[in-house]
Structure 1
Amino acid sequence: MNELCGTAVLSRHPRAAAEARVVLKAVAPGDHSGSDTAELLLSEVVGNAVRYATGEEIQVAVGFDEGTGVITGAVFDAEPGLGGGVRSCHVTAAEDAGLETGRGLDLLDMLAEAWGVATVGSQGKWVWFQVPAAA
């Protein structure tokens, strides 16, 4: 398995999503058919960490497996819980129409091949996802 990796420690700041995308672009090929999806998901997960987590920094890790074509993105923040995010499957259509936020987990469900949360005791959690190349 030949994997390319990139990592960064970023300030918990609104610019963090843009900085995380720079890491992704340095690792994943620009012509990868899942790059745009991976950028969207990475931005969403970083945005959630910036908005809801505690601590001054977040960590970003991106990997690209040249053999399988899978991009893996992961974001660590110092908040052990996933928080009170709203999932569209838990709200009525009328409630959903009025929501301005809360679609991040839905995006992960719809667009990632796989995703999950790995807690690190009381220190925080990694939220990760995988995006394959389109068939």
Structure 2
Amino acid sequence: MTGNSAVATLPRHPRAAAQARRVLEEVAPADCTVADTAALLLSEVVSNAVRHADGAAIEVAVARDEAAGAITGAVFDTEPGMSAGARSGDEPVDEMETGRGLDLLEALAVSWGVATVGDHGKWVWFQLSGY
């Protein structure tokens, strides 16, 4: 871990999102204008990994690029594919209780994506700018 990045292996447990936010706090500068948004997106991605993936642990990585003014968050889990989540198509979107994490990434992140690591798992990442 350096001042510009941090990586942590966290147990795949409901408290993992809170632990991931603490990792983000180690990297985000005190005057970071996108810290709250980064915390929200990181929590969503971690929660998806906890809920939908297998394995005992997930990996969280957070980095800041001072030159670009960007923060990147990423979560690795051992499930190579993306789950369909709560979207069955039968329920109106405004009545769904879960399943909006990817919508948040799409709406709030400058960019985001999924990078598979063969059949070993995937990284779900996002980037925010303007800190």
Q: Same fold (TM over 0.5)?
A: yes
Pair 1:133 & 2:123 matched: no
Deviation of residue 31 (structure 1)? 1.3
- Secondary structure of the residue aligned to 1:10 is strand
Give me the whole-angstrom Cα distance separating, in 2, the residues matched to 1:111 and 1:103. Answer: 12
- Secondary structure of the residue aligned to 1:108 is helix
Q: For 1:108-127, what aligned pairs fall within 5 Å after superposition?
A: 108-127=105-124
Q: For 1:15-34, what aligned pairs fall within 5 Å after superposition?
A: 15-34=15-34
Task: State the AA in 1 paired with 2:44.
Answer: E
Which stretches of structure 1, 4 residues or more, deviate above 4 A after TM superposition? Answer: none
Deviations 1:4-45 (A, max 9, x none): 110000000001000000110000112111111000000000
Task: State the AA in 1 paired with 2:129.
Answer: P
Deviation of residue 66 (structure 1)? 1.0
Task: State the AA in 1 paired with 2:70.
Answer: V
Give me the whole-angstrom Cα distance separating, in 2, the residues matched to 1:91 and 1:109. Answer: 19
Give me the whole-angstrom Cα distance separating, in 2, the residues matched to 1:98 and 1:37. Answer: 23
Question: Identity of aligned pairs, percent?
Answer: 60
- Secondary structure of the residue aligned to 1:39 is helix
Task: State the AA in 1 paired with 2:100.
Answer: R
Report the counterpart of residue 99 of structure 2 in structure 1. 102
Give me the whole-angstrom Cα distance separating, in 2, the residues matched to 1:67 and 1:86. Answer: 38
Give me the whole-angstrom Cα distance separating, in 2, the residues matched to 1:86 and 1:71. Answer: 28
- Secondary structure of the residue aligned to 2:92 is helix
- Secondary structure of the residue aligned to 1:62 is strand
- Secondary structure of the residue aligned to 2:20 is helix
Give me the whole-angstrom Cα distance separating, in 1, the residues matched to 2:89 and 2:68. Answer: 37
- Secondary structure of the residue aligned to 1:60 is strand
Q: Tell me, which stretches of 5 or more residues in structure 1 are unaligned?
A: none
Q: Tell me, which stretches of 5 or more residues in structure 2 are unaligned?
A: none
Report the counterpart of residue 72 of structure 2 in structure 1. 72
Give me the whole-angstrom Cα distance separating, in 1, the residues matched to 2:127 and 2:4. Answer: 14
